[in-house]
Amino acid sequence: MSTEDRIEKQILLRAPRARVWQALADAEQFGKWFGVKLAGPFAPGARLRGKVTHPGYEHVNFEITIERMEPERLLSWRWHPNAIDPKIDYSAEPTTLVVFELADAPEGTLLTLVESGFEGIPPSRREAFGANERGWAIQMKAIEKYVSETA
Amino acid sequence: MSARLLKPRRTAPIFAALGDETRLRIVARLSAAGPMSIAHLTRDASVTRQAVTKHLHVLAHAGLARSTRLGRESVWELQPEPLDAARHYLDDISAQWDAALDRLKIFVER
């Protein structure tokens, strides 16, 4: 599989695994840092729908389908990456898989994120992405600011 | 940036075209050594001339390579723009994850 198919990230979080798990797997807590309002709860097979909460972007839908949950170790879900146009029905398109893995680290929790399956995303969606990316970048910055101010 | 804005290409074929070991090797060689003929490309490849030709046409179809006639031979060269577009797509999603994980860090560490 080509490296163009996946994104991988690692981050050291200075918090216990139980705390990180809550932030990932509790719908309300997840929504706070991710910037969405979700109707929970997280459970394997559950489809969670919601809206982006950032002012000016409340029209953007958010939907994930939970795959696996191994408490304090692994959480995975599928979604349509950057499915940000409410006028488009993305449901028939292939999804990407997002996997969070938690491991003990000397000072807290090592979190590994892998999103894979980009090879399956249709060409038209990638083109649309180009047009929308600037808006997203601005939104992400704004959310980051918002969260750090209310922290 | 300009490559993506000027040429909103079909990028799924790009990812598909790159998802093959032989084609990745061809791309790497053309990238390192510049334009070359099929004969030249076949010489130190472990695959037949027909196979190399077929792979080059897959790359061409995805907009990654093109051939020009030089005498009796076709010379193949890379077209870097689609590669840039594909990379930008993942770079941008990657940047969004960086921002999201930073927010998670603030959230769990406070």
Confidence of residue A146 (pLDDT cuts 50, 70, 90): very low
pLDDT (tens digit, 9 = 90+) per residue, B79-90? 877 666 666 777
Find the residue in B nearest to A83 (Cα): B93
Domains and CATH numbers, chain A: 3-150 (3.30.530.20)
A70 forms beta bridges with: A74
Number of domains observed in the structure of chain B: 1
Confidence of residue A124 (pLDDT cuts 50, 70, 90): low
Cross-chain Cβ contact A33/B106 below 8 Å:
yes
State mean pLDDT over A73-79.
96
Chain A residues near residue B10 by CB distance under 8 angstroms: 123, 126-127
> What CATH number does the domain containing B62 carry?
1.10.10.10
pLDDT (tens digit, 9 = 90+) per residue, A114-123? 998 887 877 6
Name the CA dihedral angle for A23, A29, A35, A37, rounded to a multiple of 10 degrees.
Answer: 140
d(CA A122, CA A129): 11
pLDDT (tens digit, 9 = 90+) per residue, B37-76? 988 888 866 789 999 999 999 999 888 889 988 888 889 9
Find the residue in B nearest to A13 (Cα): B105
Q: Would you call A35 an interface residue with chain B, using a CB distance cutoff of 8 Å?
A: yes
Rg (CA), chain A: 16
Sort strands A6-13 and A96-105 into parallel, antiparallel or unpaired.
Answer: unpaired
Q: Would you call A130 an interface residue with chain B, using a CB distance cutoff of 8 Å?
A: yes
Q: Which residue has the higher pLDDT, A108 or A122?
A: A108
Rg (CA), chain B: 18
Q: Where in the sequence is the domain holding B63, given as residue range(s)?
A: 2-109
- Give the helix/strand (H/E) hosting A150: helix A123-150
Find the residue in A nearest to B15 (Cα): A119
- How much of chain A exceeds pLDDT 90, in percent? 49
Say whether pTM exceeds 0.95: no
Residues 56-85 of A with CB under 8 A from B: 81-82
| Cβ neighbours of residue B23 closer than 8 Å, sequence gap 6 or more | B17, B55, B58, B59
A98 forms beta bridges with: A77, A115
d(CA A48, CA A63): 6
Residue pair A118/A8 in contact by the 8 Å Cβ criterion: no
Dihedrals phi, psi of B19, to nearest 5 degrees:
-85, 40
Report helix, strand or coil for A99: strand
- Give the helix/strand (H/E) hosting A65: strand A61-70
Give the length of chain B. Answer: 110
